[in-house]
Amino acid sequence: MVADRTGLAVVGGGPGGYAAAFRAADLGLEVTLIDPEPDPGGVCLYRGCIPSKALLHVAKVISAAHRAGDWGVRFADPEIDLDRLGQWKDEVVERLTGGLGKLADSRGLEHLRGTARFADAAHLDVTTPDGDHRRLAFDHAIVATGSEPVRLPGQPDSDRVWDSRRALELPFLPSRLVVVGGGYIGLEMGSVYAALGSEVTVVEMTDSLLPGVDADLVRPLTKSLEARFERIFTGATVDEIEPGDDRVRVAISGEGGRRDLHCDAVLVAVGRRPFVRGLGLDRTAVRFTETGFIAVDGQRRTAEPAIFAVGDAAGEPMLAHKASHEGRVAAEAAAGRRSLWDPRAIPAVVYTDPEVAWCGLTEAEAEASGREIRITRFPWAASGRAVTTGAPHGVTKLVTDPASGRVLGVGITGEEAGELIAEAVLAVEMGAVAEDLARSIHPHPTRSETLMEAAEMVGGQATHTLRKRSG
């Protein structure tokens, strides 16, 4: 087969791949982006971040309408038109992926629809959706193939046993939905279905929701979800899932013994793993970590010098914004620049109600490493803005260095925490001290003031709380 040639082949068109391809094209490289979908976007845009956020927005509207009853404004119970809701979500996806397609075209990069497999360390074989084959020679390649859902051992194939992709398709509205896994996907999609009217039961293996996240940040969320969900089982595992014609039996066991849950559908959301199968990487010198990720250096270069890897395939955390940043670093390195992936703070956001967001050093990480830290927490009950929106159940927490006052990490639970965390990322990245945050004038009344006030507490007292001094 005669090979076409490209400067940079990017395998995978998600946030890691398209950010890399766009950056490389902007730097003057000849770029071919290979992905099976009609436009760039990957899992994030087609069946992840974007459709889930569209549905979570609807959940938020329903819940706000419900809460308005407390303020003297009563709405009738919502009528859910699942078809129209699905259409709207698809329109959001089409609009954004279409926009990316136009951006790719106007940058002059080639978008090759198909799946790619390495023939060796300098060639890819691409199979197009029509079944045609094309061999592509490259100077550099970036692997950005993302991740795939982990399945439970013995998980049956059934229309009633869903992964996140199926849940986002809104196949039907189950009266009862069991969600296996109390992590990002389980809690976000559980919240969507609960708002639409399903009775949701969560089964989480560890002893708390969002394991690994600081307990004080998770607590307000757990309380809120206890009111929205039918039941939350922690410390419980699923022994068997048995789908019937119109019901599913889920056998679980835990501290309370064994029990059967009966439902109309089960969502399995027990994590994701790097998607590296069938890529032909065994025909290159690319190496893997013990946990199955592609091993990379600070520039995201693999053990094969011409091949880079970014995003979910190249390590935790599996987050779109981390992938995009890595993608840009790899593209710059491929273009000969001395770029390095060296973040101090990668924000994480769980888009539940309330949202949970954090960045930089967490309290749990500091404890585990024995690092001395200072913690200050500003309760949202003391935030004028949080009270005006009827959402005072939150906390803004600063992790600072006791000697220098430097901001090492921030955690926020509350409405729009995902927006607020960006200021914290800047503070950590810029090496700000708490006083920098405390003395920066924040607009009033906003939730952003909670960051300023948590920083004021590092130096003594915040204006809107008073901590009694001991002794």
Stretch that binds ligand NAD, among 27-35, 118-126, 265-273, 362-370 (CB under 6 A): 265-273
Stretch that binds ligand NAD, among 25-33, 71-79, 97-105, 178-186 (CB under 6 A): 178-186
Per-residue DSSP letters for 420-471?
HHHHHHHHHHTT-BHHHHHHSPPPTT-TTHHHHHHHHHHHS--TT--PPPP-
Task: Closer to ligand NAD by CB, 114 or 149: give it.
Answer: 149
* Residue 188 makes contact with ligand NAD by CB under 6 A: yes
Torsion from C-alpha of 51, 56, 59, 61, nearest 10 degrees: -100
Stretch that binds ligand NAD, among 1-9, 26-34, 199-207, 459-467 (CB under 6 A): 199-207
Per-residue DSSP letters for 314-330?
G-S---HHHHHHHHHHH
Task: Closer to ligand NAD by CB, 180 or 373: give it.
Answer: 180
Task: Closer to ligand NAD by CB, 184 or 341: give it.
Answer: 184
* Residue 267 makes contact with ligand NAD by CB under 6 A: no
The residue from 125, 204, 214, 456 that contacts ligand NAD (CB under 6 A) is 204
Residue type, 108: G
Q: What is the CA radius of gyration of the chain?
A: 24
Size of site (CB under 6 A) for ligand NAD: 26
The residue from 186, 220, 347, 411 that contacts ligand NAD (CB under 6 A) is 186
The residue from 60, 176, 272, 300 that contacts ligand NAD (CB under 6 A) is 272
* Residue 104 makes contact with ligand NAD by CB under 6 A: no
To the nearest whole angstrom, how small is the minimum distance from the Cβ of residue 269 to ligand NAD?
Answer: 4
- What's the CA angle centered on 206, arms 205 and 211, to 5 degrees? 120
* Residue 205 makes contact with ligand NAD by CB under 6 A: yes
Residue entry with tokens 């845009």 = 45
* Residue 182 makes contact with ligand NAD by CB under 6 A: yes
Q: Which tokens is 161 given?
A: 């046993």
What is the rounded distance in angstroms from the CA atom of residue 122 to the CA atom of residue 139? 7
* Residue 453 makes contact with ligand NAD by CB under 6 A: no
Query: Cα 469 to the chain's mean position, in Å?
Result: 40
8 Å CB contact between 174 and 193 = yes
Contact partners, residue 459, CB within 8 Å, separation at least 6:
405, 434, 435, 438
Q: Which of residues 24-63 bind ligand NAD (CB under 6 A)?
A: none
What's the Cα-to-Cα distance from 46 to each of 43, 95, 166, 378, rounded to whole Å? 5, 11, 12, 38
Indicate which residue of 66, 140, 321, 444 is catalytic. 444
In 3D, which of 26, 35, 44, 61 has the Cα closest to residue 96? Answer: 44
To the nearest whole angstrom, how small is the minimum distance from the Cβ of residue 252 to ligand NAD?
Answer: 8
8 Å CB contact between 407 and 428 = yes
8 Å CB contact between 294 and 314 = yes
* Residue 183 makes contact with ligand NAD by CB under 6 A: yes
- Site track 227-256 with ligand NAD (rule: CB under 6 A), x = hit: ----------xx------------------
Q: Is 321 a catalytic residue?
A: no
At 41, phi and psi to the nearest 5?
Answer: 150, -40
* Residue 119 makes contact with ligand NAD by CB under 6 A: no
Which helix (H) or strand (E) element contains residue 3? none
Stretch that binds ligand NAD, among 79-87, 127-135, 270-278, 374-382 (CB under 6 A): 270-278
Q: Which of residues 351-370 bind ligand NAD (CB under 6 A)?
A: 351
Q: Which of residues 309-328 bind ligand NAD (CB under 6 A)?
A: 317-319
* Residue 152 makes contact with ligand NAD by CB under 6 A: yes
Active-site residues, by number, are: 444
Positions in the binding site for ligand NAD (CB under 6 A): 152, 180-186, 188, 203-206, 211, 237-238, 269-272, 317-319, 349-351
